[in-house]
Amino acid sequence: MAYIDGFVVAVPTASKAAYRKHAVDALPLFKEFGVTRMVEAWGEDVPDGKVTDFKRGVQATPDEVVVFSWMEYPSKAVRDAAGQKMMSDPRMKEMGAAMPFDGKRMIYAGFEAMIDDGPRGKPGYIDGTLMAVPVANKEAFRAWAATMAALFTEHGAIRVLDGWGDHVPDGKVTDFKRAVKAKDDEAVMFGWVEWPSKDVRDAAWGKMMADPRMQPDRTHPPLFDGQRMVYGGFTPIVDE
């Protein structure tokens, strides 16, 4: 089963090129450690929410853009071994000292791939989401997510992945739990939908919003609090 390290970062708008270079320069090292894919996606449509949103999750300032990012590993064992190597490799310290963003506000965590529908592609646009889901609803959420993944791919998505929080650390300034206001009995979900282009994505969402399968099942209690769901649209700037 694939394992994901998920990240959300606030990057100064003026530092976009520097951020991309930093990520590209670090990629060979991450690949050496066992990463099979790294994606960095620049915020394009990151709305303000009433309760939660990506900007608040990383305390983004008006001159910053939210970046949605992840690394893929073939298994948790490979990821754990990579983490040990990263902690002891002096090259990582050098990269950490030159980050073109405020690392104290970066949020990160490890996620088990619960749903992974579709092959790896080269998406032109990404919908990213964060959610807080009651642990007791895990299997019901898995079934619902599988239904949604099939609907997304039916309407043109390349790949849909939902990751269940496995290692979600508390941060001193920001973290995933605070980003979705997770309660003690809830797990954090990190997921995304990959689209060939923004045009395909926009057309698909128009159709899906009218699809009765998208409507909530009001005969049962909701699986999660939709008011605390965080979402946004992103354009990949690194995908290797």
Please determine, for residue 179, whether its predicted confidence score (pLDDT) is greater than 90. Answer: yes
SS3 of residue 35 by DSSP: coil
* Contact predicate 152/124, CB 8 Å: no
pLDDT in tens, 77-110: 999 999 898 888 888 888 777 889 999 999 999 9
Domain residues for 48?
3-239
For position 126, what pLDDT does the model report? Answer: 98
How buried is 37 (Cβ within 10 angstroms: 0-12 exposed, 13-18 middle, 19+ buried)?
middle
d(CA 140, CA 205): 24
State if pTM tops 0.75: yes
Q: In the 3-class helix/strand/coil scheme, how is 149-206 assigned residue by residue?
A: HHHHHHCCCCEEEEEEEEECCCCCCCCHHHHCCCCCCEEEEEEEEEECCHHHHHHHHH
Predicted confidence at residue 128, as pLDDT, reads 98
Q: First-to-last CA distance in the chain?
A: 20
pLDDT attached to residue 209 = 87
In angstroms, rounded to a whole number, what is the distance separating the alpha carbons of residues 159 and 122? 10
Tell me the CATH number at 143.
Answer: 3.30.70.100
Rounded Cα gap, residues 129 and 42, in angstroms: 14
Give the count of domains, the chain. 1
Model confidence band, residue 15 (pLDDT cutoffs 50, 70, 90): very high
